[in-house]
Chains A and B, each alone.
Chain A
Amino acid sequence: MSIYDIIFYLFATITLVSAFFVVTIRNIVYSAFFLLFTFFGVAGIYVILGADFIAMVQLIVYVGGILILILFGVMLTNKITNVQIKTGTSQIIPAAIGVGLFAGILTATLVNTPWRKIDNSPLFPTTQGLGLMLISEYGVVFELLGILLLIALIGAASLARK
């Protein structure tokens, strides 16, 4: 077993185990902190797949931005004196059966599909290529996403201020 395989299994285990705790643990703050480990694990998987820039963006945007936003959401929507911030659950058994069936179908599909076995891309820094694509081929999409972010932030601010 090569070091590559060991690192993959390490990050996959971190991701899946902490994601399992995110959706099952009852304390919301603990869930948010397990979500942190899930995002770290996913960033590690991106590094294994050779996407170094995406992994850094994942760490900066998800861990630095979205997770903090979610923690603010948890704190602002509960009584601050309430030490035990719990969440209720509903319909666990039908949901587990349905999700289990869904995961089984997905896994069966990906096992039975004849994927190409070759891996023709050596690992190389992707920042330059991504930057060139963002200003040439995907330039319009990039600008539209900038406008969308501006609209979303103004909308969120005006929604939350009311």
Chain B
Amino acid sequence: MIHIGLGHFLFVSSILFSLGIFGVVTRKNAVMVLMGIELMLNASNINFIAFAKYGNFGLQGQVMALFVIVLAAAEAAIALAIVLNIYKTFSTVNVDEIDTLKD
């Protein structure tokens, strides 16, 4: 019988991070790319808190997780403002059709 340990939480977070990368690189809609980034930030938070419990760091990992959540909120607000501007300018938010710089 395997008891739940650090490795289980790290496994969950690594799979969650990989799914986030998959969402970021395959989705065309910019809002979906944002969702992938949120998944990756959540995976890193699981890592921080797992190491805070199983390492010998006290509460420092949890403080870092709190900071990551604050940064994720700021990032989501800014990114959605940019996405709204892109939609007003190009009438689409598909990231593969916004290639004006290529011409």
Contact = CB atoms under 8 A, between A and B. Distances in A.
A144 to B, nearest CB: 10
Interface size class, chain A: 35 or more
B19 A159 contact: no
A120 B85 CA distance: 50
Given A54-B62, A87-B27, A121-B53, A141 B21 contact: no
A115 B10 CA distance: 11
B84 A73 contact: yes
Contacts of B72: 61-62, 66
A51 B12 contact: no
Interface string B91-102: 001101000000
A120 B57 CA distance: 11
A51 to B, nearest CB: 5
Contact of A65 (B9, B23, B73): B73
B25 A95 contact: yes
Nearest to B93: A77
Given A73-B84, A110-B14, A145-B67, A133 B77 contact: no
Nearest to B95: A90
